[in-house]
Amino acid sequence: MAKRLVKTDLCFLGILLLVLITGCIFFYAHNHKDGAVAVVTVAGEYYGTYPLEKDCRIEIKTNEIVTNILEIHDGKADMTDANCPDYLCVHQRAISKANETIVCLPNQVVVEIKGADTAEFDSMT
Ligand SMILES: [Zn+2]
């Protein structure tokens, strides 16, 4: 009886492991194919995630006041407007590669690209 239980447990564990590994591989491959997202944080707090493949216009608000306008078009994230005094974020070029960021220091807004292929190859050539 005891032996039987162990055998069943091991079998169950094996299947579980297999399912987990298959799931991981599928998830990774799927995620990789899906491309990049723009992750927005305000004052160090998570604000939202927006896929680059879908054009949209995001109003980033702090205390009900729109501080920055982030536009996603042609697979790129671009800060098109802001109420900050330096306008540095608006002047930054549109980003689309993993780990690229647009930072608005006065408004503490950070836009970071995640999940895409890195720009390593491009910068090497
Ligand atoms: Zn700014």
The Cα diameter of the chain in Å comes to 76
Query: What is the topology classification, in CATH, of domain 36-115?
Result: mini-chromosome maintenance (MCM) complex, domain 2 (2.60.320)
Residues 6 or more apart whose Cβ sits within 8 Å of residue 66: 59, 60, 83
Averaged in consecutive runs of 10 residues, what is the pLDDT profile of the chain (125 residues)? Answer: 73 90 75 77 97 97 96 97 97 96 98 73 45
Q: What angle do CA 110, 44, 24 make, to 5 degrees?
A: 85
Residue 54 DSSP label: S
* H-run or E-run covering 106: none
What pLDDT, in 10s, does the model give residues 90-112? 999 999 999 999 999 999 999 99
Please give the Cα distance from 105 to 68 (Å, whole number).
11
- From the CA of 91, how far away is ligand 1's center (Å)? 9
- From the CA of 92, how far away is ligand 1's center (Å)? 9
- From the CA of 109, how far away is ligand 1's center (Å)? 8
In what order do the strands lie in the sheet containing 45-51? 45-51, 37-42, 109-114, 101-104
Structure tokens at 73: 């078009």
- From the CA of 117, how far away is ligand 1's center (Å)? 27
Cβ–Cβ under 8 Å, residues 32 and 22? no
Map out the domains of the chain as residue ranges: 1-34, 36-115
Residue 6 has a pLDDT of 78
Residue 117 DSSP label: P
Residue 35 has a pLDDT of 84
- In the three-class reduction of DSSP (H, G, I as helix; E, B as strand; rest coil), residue 4 is classed as helix
Residue 122 has a pLDDT of 46
- From the CA of 3, how far away is ligand 1's center (Å)? 67
Residue 124 has a pLDDT of 44
